[in-house]
Amino acid sequence: MRKKLVEEWIYKAEEDFESALYLVKKRKKPIPDVVCFHSQQCIEKYLKAFLVKNSIEPPEIHDLQRLNRLCGDMDKNFNKISDELDILNAYAINFRYPGEKATIEESRESVLVMRKVREFIRRKVGI
């Protein structure tokens, strides 16, 4: 059961990963807000997959740092991605509503950070 749930979290994370990669390449009408959001969502779901793999029920939160601290309780190496998570953490809410807008540069950075953190967590999950 746990393995299936981990796979489901990973599947959902990969949907966000592929969406961010696809959308960051749009040239005619870029949508950087959505790229940043999918980058954050990808990593949130990977962190939750790691928690489930380690028999921890992931809390219904979007704060990557809080999720990372839970992961860090099981593997201290998660401290290494804290700075990257700070970059992505803002994208859970900031650009989803009127007001702030992400820039194309921010969307590109979010994808680079997402790729790096994704690879780190995939190794920890055993992929």
- CATH of the domain spanning 2-125: 1.20.120.330
Please state, in angstroms and rounded to a whole number, the distance separating the CA atoms of residues 126 and 27: 35
Please state, in angstroms and rounded to a whole number, the distance separating the CA atoms of residues 115 and 58: 22
pLDDT tens by residue, 21-61: 999 988 788 899 999 999 999 999 999 999 999 999 999 99
> In the predicted model, is pLDDT for residue 98 greater than 90?
no
pTM of the complete model:
0.94
Please state, in angstroms and rounded to a whole number, the distance separating the CA atoms of residues 125 and 55: 12
Judged by DSSP in three states, 74 sits in coil
